[in-house]
Amino acid sequence: MPFCAQLCPFVPLCALQGKRHLYKQQLAPLFNHIKLIIMNICSRAKAPTPRFFRIIRNIGLLLTAVGSALVATPVWLPVIVVKAAGYMILGGSIASAISQLTTDAGPIENTEVKKISAPNSGDNF
């Protein structure tokens, strides 16, 4: 097995025969873009949250806690209650996450999105 196939196992071997392995250079802009997105999410989570969204976040946490308590009870509950508790967990966790990422800080700097060039179709396959 060629060394480049060990680095990128998702690439078929027939595409690597006789061609130079450039996947690292081609995927570098994509990885940099993903890194920028993750850094923006982290900075938004640390930024101050408006008062209304703090209330929504706390309600979401409360729904998640109540739903988790209902699902984890050792006594038998009707199926509809357990199903509703599962939806409470889902809705509460989504509301909490979205509310936490809502900021009052305005636009975040350094969010310039660069165009990712597609690899040449004639070079690889």
Q: What is the mean pLDDT of each run of 10 residues along the chain (125 residues)?
A: 49 50 68 83 84 94 96 92 95 94 68 53 49
Query: How many domains is the chain built from?
Result: 1
In a domain, 71, yes or no: yes
C-beta atoms surrounding 85 within 10 Å: 20
pLDDT value at residue 105: 61
In a domain, 16, yes or no: no
Q: Which domain holds residue 56?
A: 22-106
In a domain, 12, yes or no: no
In a domain, 112, yes or no: no
In a domain, 81, yes or no: yes
In a domain, 56, yes or no: yes
In a domain, 111, yes or no: no
Distance CA 125, CA 119 (A): 10
